[in-house]
């Protein structure tokens, strides 16, 4: 008679595999974060290389700050440059662009890629943060400006403002700052990241749904998150469909763009709900679940 045991054989734990996957996912998202910053920096550099507006200061584009510490530390020696405006640009792991500017003209407009800003005379540092926010430091004054028309951008702007205010004593003297934001759809280079954000994930999600099942359409929640983190007008309408507007010679108003953006966002949400509806009908593979998790976290990697 076979002997029986009170203790059932335990199934092998998958804790180690899960931990390895999560660590790999975090590393991959950090890599995407860096590549996104590098992409934005490259587009800004190309935008300025094709010819700045208003004036043509002398630009020195250094690249990644970690590899150019000596050059960045030498920026202070260019105070007596013969040029009326001298601009040094680079980027780091947290900022898509940082510009150190020596300016001899009071309130001179300087093209800094995404924006054209009026800078006071003397030395200024303009730091671009992810999500279309930049700070201007001049002497002991710091001003923070937000040109991201989204709830996520406004929230991030408030967090950065508190952080800058708590970082140390700042002069209470107001620093007048005026700037003009460039229209992305009219720029050859600045719109490229938005095109990649829109079309590349959509292609990958569709191909994944074909390969792993309709549940993968749940990953379309990526676009619902993007709606709140980025300016949905640029993300969903003016940039990705500018080619169609030019083909049809259709000039859209602000109201029409907002309605179209909201409709496109609703379509993506319905597509994600369609994926959830099939969640109980289809047996989902481990890789399918991982792909969905990746796309849920991807917008935050692009935003920050």
Within this chain, do residues 145 and 240 fall inside the same structural domain, yes or no? no
Quick one: pLDDT at residue 13? 58
196 and 165, same structural domain? no
**Res 171: pLDDT:** 47
Query: Is residue 14 a part of any domain in this protein?
Result: no
Asked if residue 78 is part of any domain, the answer here is yes
- The string of pLDDT tens digits covering residues 84-138 is 788 999 999 999 999 999 888 776 789 999 999 988 888 999 999 988 899 999 8
- Higher-pLDDT residue of 148 and 192 is 192
Residues 166 and 253 in one domain: no
pLDDT of residue 7: 46
Residues 119, 65 share a domain: yes
Q: Answer yes or no: is pLDDT of 286 > 60.
A: yes
Tokens, residue 166: 């708590």
The C-alpha atoms of residue 102 and residue 124 are separated, in whole angstroms, by 7
Give 242-273 pLDDT, tens digit per residue.
988 888 888 878 889 999 999 999 999 999 99
- In angstroms, the Cα distances linking 257 to 150, 253, 262 are 15, 6, 9
6 pLDDT exceeds 70? no
Write down how long the chain is.
304
Structural domain ending residue among the three candidates 130, 151, 181: 181
- Does the pLDDT at position 21 exceed 60? yes
Instruction: State residue 84's pLDDT score.
Output: 78
User: 268 and 228 in contact (C-beta within 8 Å)?
Assistant: no
pLDDT at 292: 93
**In this structure, are 153 and 75 located in the same domain?**
yes
Strand 58-64 versus strand 85-91 pairing type: parallel
For residues 136-155, average pLDDT: 88
Is 251 inside a domain boundary? Answer: yes
Residue where a domain stops, chosen among 181, 216, 240: 181
Residue 298 in domain: yes
Q: Specify the DSSP class assigned to residue 79.
A: T
pLDDT at 28: 96
Instruction: State residue 14's pLDDT score.
Output: 67
Domain contains 20: no
In this structure, the answer to whether residues 63 and 166 fall within a common structural domain is yes
Question: pLDDT value at position 46?
Answer: 95
The answer to whether position 136 is within a domain reads yes
- Both 177 and 257 in one domain: the answer is no
- Core vs surface per residue 141-159: b (16+ CB within 10 A) or e: bbbbbbbbebebbeebbee
Q: Tell me, yes or no, whether 175 and 79 share the same domain.
A: yes
Domain housing 252: 187-303
* Mean pLDDT of all residues belonging to the chain: 87
Q: Are residues 131 and 60 both part of a single domain?
A: yes
* pLDDT tens-digit readout, 54-78: 667 889 999 999 999 999 888 877 7
How sure is the predictor about 300, in pLDDT bands with cuts at 50, 70 and 90?
A: very high
Rounded to 10°, the helix 192-212/221-229 angle is 160
pLDDT digits 0-9 by tens, 224-247: 999 999 999 999 999 999 988 888
Is 259 inside any structural domain? yes
CA atoms within 13 A on the CB side of 301: 20
Q: Which two tokens stand for residue 163?
A: 């952080």
Q: Do 138 and 234 share a domain, yes or no?
A: no
Q: 236 with 291, same domain? A: yes
How many domains does the chain divide into? 2
Same domain, 121 and 201: no
User: Where does a domain end: 131, 148, 181?
Assistant: 181
What Å distances lie between residue 224 and 146, 185, 236, 275, CA to CA? 22, 22, 11, 14
Assigned domain for 174 exists: yes
255, two tokens: 């109201």
pLDDT digits (tens, 9 = 90+) for 163-204: 877 665 444 556 777 888 998 988 989 999 999 999 999 999
């Amino acid at each position: 008679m076979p002997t029986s045991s009170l203790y059932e054989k335990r199934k092998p734990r998958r804790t180690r595999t899960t931990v390895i996957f999560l660590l790999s996912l975090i590393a991959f998202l950090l890599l995407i974060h860096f590549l996104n910053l590098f992409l934005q920096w490259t587009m800004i550099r190309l935008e300025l290389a094709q010819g700045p507006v208003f004036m043509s200061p002398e630009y020195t584009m250094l690249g990644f700050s970690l590899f150019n510490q000596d050059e960045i530390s030498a920026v202070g020696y260019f105070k007596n440059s013969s040029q009326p405006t001298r601009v040094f640009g680079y980027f780091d792991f947290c900022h898509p662009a940082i510009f150190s500017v020596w300016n001899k003209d009071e309130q001179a407009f300087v093209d800094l890629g995404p924006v054209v800003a009026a800078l006071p005379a003397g030395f200024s540092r303009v730091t671009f943060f992810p999500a279309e926010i930049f700070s201007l430091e001049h002497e002991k004054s710091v001003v923070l400006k937000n040109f991201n028309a989204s709830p996520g951008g406004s929230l991030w702007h408030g967090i950065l403002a508190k952080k800058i205010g708590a970082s140390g004593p700042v002069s209470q003297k107001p620093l007048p700052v005026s700037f003009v934001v460039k229209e992305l759809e009219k720029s050859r280079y600045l719109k490229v990241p938005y095109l990649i954000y829109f079309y590349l994930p959509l292609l990958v999600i569709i191909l994944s749904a074909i390969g792993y099942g309709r549940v993968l359409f749940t990953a379309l929640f990526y676009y619902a998150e993007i709606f709140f983190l980025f300016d949905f007008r640029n993300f969903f309408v003016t940039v990705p469909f500018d080619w169609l507007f030019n083909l049809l010679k259709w000039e859209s108003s602000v109201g029409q763009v907002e309605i179209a953006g909201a409709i496109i966002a609703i379509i993506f949400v319905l597509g994600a709900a369609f994926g959830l509806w099939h969640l109980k009908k289809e047996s989902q593979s481990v890789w399918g679940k991982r792909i969905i998790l990746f796309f849920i976290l991807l917008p935050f990697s692009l935003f920050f």
